Structure 1
Amino acid sequence: MTAVRAPGLRVLTPIGWTAALAAIVLYGVSRWTGWQELAVAAVGLAAAVLMAAVFIVGRSKYVVQLDLRTQRVVVGEPANGRMLVTNAAGSRLLPVRMELPVGSAVASIGVPGLGRGVTHEELFVIPTARRAVIAVGPARSVRGDAFGLFRRTVRWTEPEVLYVHPRTVPLQGTSPGFIQDLEGQATKELSNNDVSFHALRGYVPGDDRRYVHWKTTARTGTLMVHQFEETKRSHLAIALSTRTSDYAGDQEFEIAVASGASLGVQAYREERATSVVSGAGVLRASTARGLLDAISGVELSPAAEGVTAVARNAAAAVPDVSVAIILCGSGSSSGEIRSAGMAFPTGVRVVVVRVVLNSAISIRRIGSLPVVTVGALDDLARALRAVRA
């Protein structure tokens, strides 16, 4: 990515401010006390500040490009990029130091002196050991003096974004099976246009003439129309707790996040309506990739709402939910899990997936609510098959 050169920022650093203020104070004290030594020190400091300012004078003209080989990787996959710095001035440019923020860290890159039109390539590696949304850039040049009194930065690019997705596992024949069991089930609600035929009734003004049953109409002499039963439309809601106290540590939370991502991706691949709600709110996504992008930025928070509140939020956000899967950790109590299951209306099939690190797969019930315990992401498919059995 290439960006137009942004205005330079000239900053007198904290050390520079200290030196400048010290020069003023020493000069004032020397005038008051008559100590010439203090005046000499003040002049020396002032001279150092003025000389340091010379090092940030002047302009450089570069064309800088940031190139990420990919914008999306899975946890643990390599993520590489490169920065191309080209001398766009009419003469040779002196060496310069470039800074490249990568997430919360800042890489310092030395660029050698460049002749006119010459390009310097710098390769860099982005750490992907943990799921995250990582901002890379903006690349900026930095000029300053040896004493650190002044610092001048110029921004050359806009930031790029790298999504580090959680690892997912295939769930064919497991979680979507819950939805398939419900899909197309007739309800007791009557409708004038659906696919589940219920009965015939007399025509009333406003009925769609496409649903007139002409044979019965001819036989009875009365206009008759089809009456249908509404069929249940499947909608999967995934409620993910992000409260710190609901988990024994980051590993449990990451398994819960990866489980939610696996469930959502599988549902999207099978073109099922899917909504994911975390402690921070509804994740806005309409595709599997969009879900993975959104869930990459989900973080634990001690102030986040717990599993019960997240389940209630999911029930409110997805009023047509047919299947709900609640994800939590070993810190969630049985009472909280029971309340979370009761947050959904009658008729909604609710399953709780509770992550307890390194535990064996187990299934128990809290009342009528099935609670599946998994100790690793690879246990998820087998555990969900056991619930269906």
Structure 2
Amino acid sequence: MDAGAVTALTPPAAVPVGTSGDGRLAETVAAGVRFAREASARATRALHVVSSVVTPLGWAALTVVGASFLVGYALGWTEFIVIGWAGLVLLVAASCFLIGRNAFEIHLHLPVDRVVVGERVPGQVNVRNPTRRRLPGVGVEVPVGAGLAEFAMPSLARGEDFSDVFIVPTRKRGVIPIGPVRTARADPIGLLRREVAWSEQVSLFVHPRTVSIPSMSTGFIRDLEGNPTRDLTNSDVSFHALREYVAGDERRAIHWKSTAKTGRFMVRQFEESRRSHLMVALSLAESDYADEDEFELAVSVAGSLGVRAIRDARTVSVVASAVPPDSNRRRMPGLRSLRTLTRARLLDDLSGVDRSSAALPVSELARAAADTVAGISVAFLVCGSATTLTQLRTAASRFPAGVDVVAVICAPETVPSFRRVAELSVLTIGYLEDLQHSLARTKAA
């Protein structure tokens, strides 16, 4: 074999990756992309930091400074150049007020987290300097609902404390978010401002006012301690009559003395006693109320009935109208069940309810409650004066036979009244205290 053939059969030498021109170009492009991404991320973070400390007045000053430099150097106007430099010096001086680290220990303290509407609730902010140096004074802010409590905290030496008290307004029922506590450092003009949040947000539940209802007021509910029902059963505590034995009856129900007298098997029959199940349905539809005062009275009535049932250890369900999303409006019953495990949880849920134009009216609420809640013995329908008697009768007809339906119409400052319409009891109250007397009249009726 000649040398030319050997040369032709020898494989070419492998070229290392990255040493060719294409490989170097690819690495350069990849490095450029990585650098651009890092630069963009850093620029975004820097812009976020700057935008978080610049106030609207500061943005206006930056705009004036930029426009002054542009017009002054472009047109040669010395006045605009002076304005630009003066504004820039002002911004640099303002940034000096933000230099420094806030090393405070700040705590927000509320003595209670649940109050009744109208009570005064004091909150306290405690600030401590745990460092070895003196910390400058800053502004302390505590968001209270839609308001803001502000304090001017002086400079604190090593180990010094600062505390101040603010009052939370509870003139209206609801859930008030309080906090988090913020410290604010700003320049005297207000161009720059840096805020730091220190504590977590807490919620203050402002419960509706309730009235104590004696247990006798709800004693007309049929339960194991009260009167039996008209339904018959083969095993209970209230004896009704004797009847002949039929296939399937239990042998222990046979009355042997009567069997010996008649010569035929006779079994005992009883009247069924049921465990009472109280339901309170609160309408949230705007069409059922004339004004806000009627709705607040209705919430207090629902809370009073539910709290009394919980204290009596009765089975109770408290429901309210719900506004389902548009996508689920046909599938959801439009009913919201409130928690009744404890008194506090029920009142917490009632603190957050509000009227809505999309909520179900009382007649549709009764239909949803009758379909959802099983075993109801007494149903309270709580609504306002805008609800007509025809609507209440329609609502009462939604429940099965044997369910006592009581409608409570809330009309502030009206004379309380009671009337019976077929199987429906209608109470009209003007004040929350009228509820006790009206329920006593209902029982007597």
**Further displaced range: 73-82 or 321-330:** 73-82
2:384 alignment counterpart: 329
1:146 alignment counterpart: 188
Kindly tell me: are residues 90 and 365 of structure 1, through their superposed partners in 2, closer, same or farther at Cα, counting changes over 3 Å? same
Kindly tell me: are residues 141 and 187 of structure 1, through their superposed partners in 2, closer, same or farther at Cα, counting changes over 3 Å? farther
Mapped pair 1:109 → 2:159: no
Tell me which of 294, 316, 320 is aligned to 2:371.
316
How far apart are 1:100 and its partner, in Å? 0.5
Instruction: List aligned pairs for 1:276-355, cutoff 5 A.
Output: 276-280=318-322, 281-355=336-410
Tell me which of 425, 428, 435 is aligned to 1:373.
428
Mapped pair 1:260 → 2:302: yes
How far apart are 1:142 and its partner, in Å? 0.8
Kindly tell me: are residues 83 and 326 of structure 1, through their superposed partners in 2, closer, same or farther at Cα, counting changes over 3 Å? same
Mapped pair 1:27 → 2:69: yes
TM-score (norm 2): 0.75
Question: Any conservation in 2 of the 1:97–1:108 contact (CA below 8 Å)?
Answer: yes
Instruction: List aligned pairs for 1:166-315, cutoff 5 A.
Output: 166-180=208-222, 185-186=228-229, 188=231, 213=252, 231-280=273-322, 281-315=336-370
Tell me which of 97, 119, 137 is aligned to 1:95.
137
How far apart are 1:187 and its partner, in Å? 6.5
Amino acid of the structure 1 residue aligned with 2:346: L
2:413 alignment counterpart: 358
The structure where strand makes up a greater share of residues is 1
The structure where helix makes up a greater share of residues is 2
**Further displaced range: 328-337 or 260-269:** 328-337
Kindly tell me: are residues 360 and 39 of structure 1, through their superposed partners in 2, closer, same or farther at Cα, counting changes over 3 Å? same
Which residues of structure 1 form unaligned runs of 5+? 1-7, 205-210
Which residues of structure 2 form unaligned runs of 5+? 1-48, 261-266, 323-335
**Further displaced range: 271-280 or 297-306:** 297-306
Amino acid of the structure 1 residue aligned with 2:362: V
CA offset digits 1:102-128 (Å, max 9, x no partner)? 111111111121111111121122112
- Aligned partner of residue 155 in structure 2, secondary structure: coil
How far apart are 1:367 and its partner, in Å? 4.4
Tell me which of 54, 57, 65 is aligned to 2:107.
65
Question: Any conservation in 2 of the 1:60–1:89 contact (CA below 8 Å)?
Answer: no
2:198 alignment counterpart: 156
Tell me which of 104, 107, 124 is aligned to 1:82.
124
Between structure 1 and structure 2, the one with the greater Rg is: 2
Q: Percent of counterpart pairs with the same letter?
A: 41
- Aligned partner of residue 179 in structure 1, secondary structure: coil
Question: Any conservation in 2 of the 1:277–1:313 contact (CA below 8 Å)?
Answer: no
Q: Which whole-Å CA distance do the structure 2 matches of 1:232 and 1:327 have between them?
A: 25
Q: Which whole-Å CA distance do the structure 1 matches of 2:283 and 2:168 have between them?
A: 29
Aligned length: 371
Kindly tell me: are residues 230 and 180 of structure 1, through their superposed partners in 2, closer, same or farther at Cα, counting changes over 3 Å? closer
Question: Any conservation in 1 of the 2:232–2:269 contact (CA below 8 Å)?
Answer: no
Q: Which whole-Å CA distance do the structure 1 matches of 2:276 and 2:92 have between them?
A: 72
Question: Any conservation in 2 of the 1:178–1:323 contact (CA below 8 Å)?
Answer: no
2:263 alignment counterpart: none
CA offset digits 1:30-66 (Å, max 9, x no partner)? 3443333223222322332232222112111111121
CA RMSD in angstroms, aligned pairs only: 3.0
- Aligned partner of residue 213 in structure 1, secondary structure: helix
Q: Which whole-Å CA distance do the structure 2 matches of 1:230 and 1:181 have between them?
A: 10
CA offset digits 1:222-245 (Å, max 9, x no partner)? xxx999876433211111112233
Q: Which whole-Å CA distance do the structure 2 matches of 1:89 and 1:197 have between them?
A: 81
Q: Which whole-Å CA distance do the structure 2 matches of 1:12 and 1:212 have between them?
A: 88
Q: Which whole-Å CA distance do the structure 1 matches of 2:438 and 2:223 have between them?
A: 17
- Aligned partner of residue 121 in structure 1, secondary structure: strand
